[in-house]
Amino acid sequence: MKKQLLSFKYALRGIWYTVKTESHMRFHIVIAFYVLLFSSFYNFTAAQQALLILLIAAVMACEALNTCIEEICNLTADRFEPIIKAAKDAAAGAVLILSAAAVVVGIIFFWNTTVIAHIFDFFAHNIFMLVFFTLSLILSVLFVLLGPIGIKAKFLRLKIKKLK
């Protein structure tokens, strides 16, 4: 049992490393959040919901594998190597292919002008939710650009400046 718990610990550490170091992973997390948020406005079947979750997980898993390949390549080559570049490009291409497929599925699932109008109407009549949504967008941009550590450091610097 201890071995299995350690496996989870190491896996979570790997996910955390990818989130900390890769803005693309943070972007995927933000997109997943909004996909799941807006999916609540739709009457998706259980199969459609499952497909969305599987696509989200697949894109994030592919991004984690891409990070793994990049890190191994960086470790094995201390100078430019065409084969290393090809491996890194191919891994990034795999993420792009899967992400593009997920976007197409998203367009197919979410392109319903009636529901989109309902979403706009919902936010137009719920100012609190509109403010919350706007704040979430700002925090999402900061999360993608700075990462979890960068945001924490930035807020700590702001608190220190206020104390002085």
User: Is-catalytic flag, 71?
Assistant: no
Distance in angstroms between the alpha carbons of the first and the last residue of the chain: 51
Helices 2-21 and 23-39, interaxial angle, to 10°?
A: 100
**Candidates 22, 63, 70, 81; catalytic one:** 63
Distance CA(65)–CA(63), nearest Å, equals 5
Whole-angstrom CA distances from 84 to 17, 18, 47, 50, 88 are 22, 20, 39, 36, 6
Positions annotated as catalytic residues are: 63
